[in-house]
Amino acid sequence: MTPARDTWQAWAALVAFVAAVTLPVSVVDGAPGYVLEGGTTSVLVLLLLGVAVLGAIRPRGTGAAAVVTGLAAHVGGAYAIWLLSSVDGVAGPGFWGLIATSWLLAWALVVQMSGQAGESASPARRLFVPAVFGFWLLVLWEVLVRGFGVPQVILPPPSDIAARIAEDLSALNTPDQTSLLWADFQQTFIRAVLAGYVIGCASGFVVALLADRYGFLRRGLLPIGNLMSALPIIGVAPIMVMWFGFDWPSKAAVVAIMTFFPMMVNAVAGLAATDPMHRDLMRTYAADHRQSLSLLRLPAAMPFIFNALKINTTLALIGAIVAEFFGTPIVGMGFRISTEIGRLGVDMVWAEIAVAALAGSSFYGVMVLLERVITFWHPSFRS
């Protein structure tokens, strides 16, 4: 491993470590408490952190040093979360020093590993950096909210959101109960998002083929497409609800409108992006429009088409959720968010947001995998 030239994270971690050892982690009724008063476990955690900090200041470029740094960072973070039960709302500077030490060590580890997570690295190594980064975002969220005693109605900690999700999903194993998250996911994503996504993308692609074939359609539709893509969803959604009713078809109509124009614009641009020499070569072979389209122009347009498909995965989910604010049956992610926020059920609101984020990210990931399989020949995928 190549040592990182910039080791300011290690020196900052040393300062934070000194604060964790010397300053109180909590102050309850005027009585300070220190990490060293936690017994053998506290001493071992601090010893591991100290060794990792000293090793990060003088990096030797070995894999063992990276293992020690990563182990110390995550053990320190886990220990800080364990301490939260006794420092909720009364965390002292020593506690924040412990958190800062662990976080800065994790930062130094990410800096070291990110240089090795290029395209030639294994999939596990490429996933390591974002996994550590995301994990520490959750850890910092948890300790900041609970350490400063932030009220739950303002921002619940991730542990409460996870507990709410687990409690709701446990109803799937109980015949006489209903999982609200699963019912909302079915209504919003499976019915509205997928149906609207397929309709919008397919129709946009077909219209792009027609616009590419007939020049007057291209000159007339592209300006309209740019105009329609700027329409506010909060203006379109209530109209679709009036036209198609309160159930999922109106949400699918909103999704179809939002996904139609990105697909059409990108597909038209992709079909026109072929090299003039390649088009001349097809004419030299006496290829007709259908042959030129299937053998040259459509394959060349695939990166543009998949770009639209990936953009539309997020637009579709946003459109369906926002459309549910303007009328829906008593089910759906947007309905649940608007209802629970009025009842101050903030943990359920964040649970719905987490499910929506997971669904949208998974949908995007599926499109990325399809893109790599279908357009494997594209230069951007060559290692």
How far CA 375 is from CA of 273, 282, 300, 372, in Å, comes to 16, 21, 9, 5
Distance, in Å, from the CA atom of 9 to the CA atom of 4, rounded to the nearest integer, reads: 10
Percent of the chain surpassing pLDDT 90: 17
Q: Above 60 in pLDDT, residue 121?
A: no
Top-confidence residue, 221 or 287:
221
Top-confidence residue, 37 or 216:
216
Q: The pTM is what?
A: 0.78
pLDDT at residue 75, as a whole number? 86
How many Cα neighbours within 13 Å face the side chain of 375? 19
Q: Above 70 in pLDDT, residue 32?
A: no
**Amino acid identity of 278?**
H
Dihedral pair phi/psi, residue 9, rounded to 5°: -60, -40
Q: pLDDT for 318-375, tens place per residue?
A: 989 988 888 778 888 988 998 888 888 888 999 999 999 999 999 999 999 998 888 8
pLDDT at residue 201, as a whole number? 93
Distance, in Å, from the CA atom of 66 to the CA atom of 59, rounded to the nearest integer, reads: 9
Identify the CATH assignment for 180-381 out of 1.10.760.10, 3.40.50.2300, 1.10.3720.10, 2.60.40.10. 1.10.3720.10
pLDDT at residue 4, as a whole number? 44
Q: Above 60 in pLDDT, residue 6?
A: no
Are the CB atoms for 248 and 334 separated by under 8 Å? Answer: no
pLDDT at residue 5, as a whole number? 46
pLDDT at residue 63, as a whole number? 65
Distance, in Å, from the CA atom of 319 to the CA atom of 332, rounded to the nearest integer, reads: 13
Distance, in Å, from the CA atom of 178 to the CA atom of 124, rounded to the nearest integer, reads: 37
Are the CB atoms for 143 and 128 separated by under 8 Å? Answer: no
Q: Above 80 in pLDDT, residue 381?
A: no
Distance, in Å, from the CA atom of 207 to the CA atom of 184, rounded to the nearest integer, reads: 33
How far CA 271 is from CA of 255, 265, 285, 297, 306, in Å, comes to 24, 10, 19, 5, 13
Partnered with residue 18 across adjacent β-strands are: none
Name every residue whose Cβ is closer than 8 Å to that of residue 245 and which is 6 or more positions away in sequence: none
Q: CA triplet 224, 229, 230: central angle to 5 degrees?
A: 105
Are the CB atoms for 16 and 100 separated by under 8 Å? Answer: yes
Going by DSSP bridges, is the β-strand pair 26-28/31-33 parallel, antiparallel, or unpaired? antiparallel
- Averaged over 165-185, what is the pLDDT? 83
**Which among 106, 88, 113, 86 is positioned nearest to 3, based on CA atoms?**
113
Distance, in Å, from the CA atom of 47 to the CA atom of 45, rounded to the nearest integer, reads: 5
**Which among 250, 224, 228 is positioned nearest to 239, based on CA atoms?**
250
pLDDT at residue 70, as a whole number? 82
Distance, in Å, from the CA atom of 225 to the CA atom of 238, rounded to the nearest integer, reads: 21
**Which among 9, 2, 4 is positioned nearest to 107, based on CA atoms?**
9
DSSP 73-100: HHHHHHHHHHHHHHHTTTB-HHHHHHHH
pLDDT at residue 74, as a whole number? 84
pLDDT at residue 21, as a whole number? 83
Top-confidence residue, 383 or 259:
259
Are the CB atoms for 105 and 76 separated by under 8 Å? Answer: yes
**Mean per-residue pLDDT of the chain:** 81
pLDDT at residue 316, as a whole number? 92
